[in-house]
Amino acid sequence: MAGVRTGRCLCGAVQISIRNAPVALGACHCENCRRWTGSALIGLTVAPEDIAIVGSDSVTAYRSSDWATRSFCSVCGSTLWYRLTVPTPEEGSYEIPVGLLDNPHGLPLTSEIYIDRKPDGYVLAGATRQQTAAEFEAFIQASMKE
Ligand SMILES: [Zn+2]
Ligand SMILES: [Zn+2]
């Protein structure tokens, strides 16, 4: 169900409100997401105009690659969001971890990327659309606006 979803970091210094909230989750198993989150980034993609952020003073953005930044709460260290900074259709969008949401339920996991980089000790349940690192990177290259 689309609608409003709210969330916050562990300490509450950063609070978010999402409107037109997506109805599905995606997972990324890449090395950067694994180290950043401790396992995988499981989140929802939110357009910049659909998110309101309170507590921006407590947000630190770390440039994790040439194409993206990863933000965390400067007070409690919670993972906050991933943003693409290169010109693609999703440039500027926020990838918000489902774990930030006050109500994280009712959002099925529908896709997994970097599936070939996932630690072999666990699998996520359900039938998801899966892409390997090579498949996903080819997709991103094809969608880049030159
Ligand atoms: Zn915090
Ligand atoms: Zn990733």
The residue assigned the tokens 């965390």 is 72
CATH assignment of the domain containing 39: 2.170.150.70
The mean predicted confidence, pLDDT, of the chain is 93
Starting from the CA of residue 77, give the closest ligand. Answer: 1
pLDDT at residue 2 greater than cutoff 80: no
Reported as a single tens digit per residue, the pLDDT across 49-85 is: 999 999 999 999 999 988 899 999 999 999 999 998 8
Taking the centre of ligand 1 as the mean of its atom positions, its distance from the CA of residue 4, in whole angstroms, is 21
Taking the centre of ligand 2 as the mean of its atom positions, its distance from the CA of residue 89, in whole angstroms, is 17
Residues in the chain: 146
pLDDT for 3: 87
Taking the centre of ligand 1 as the mean of its atom positions, its distance from the CA of residue 80, in whole angstroms, is 9
Taking the centre of ligand 1 as the mean of its atom positions, its distance from the CA of residue 138, in whole angstroms, is 35
- HSE on the CB side for 123, CA within 13 Å? 6
Starting from the CA of residue 68, give the closest ligand. Answer: 2
Reported as a single tens digit per residue, the pLDDT across 12-43 is: 999 999 999 889 999 999 999 999 999 999 99
Closest to 95 in 3D by CA, of 25, 145, 20: 25
Domain boundaries, position 72: 5-144
Taking the centre of ligand 2 as the mean of its atom positions, its distance from the CA of residue 13, in whole angstroms, is 25
Starting from the CA of residue 59, give the closest ligand. Answer: 1
Starting from the CA of residue 33, give the closest ligand. Answer: 2
Name the token pair of 70: 């990863």
Percent pLDDT > 70 in the chain is 97
Q: How far apart are CA 49 and CA 113, in angstroms?
A: 25
Query: How many folded domains does the chain comprise?
Result: 1
Q: What backbone torsions phi and psi does residue 99 show, to the nearest 5 degrees?
A: -65, -15
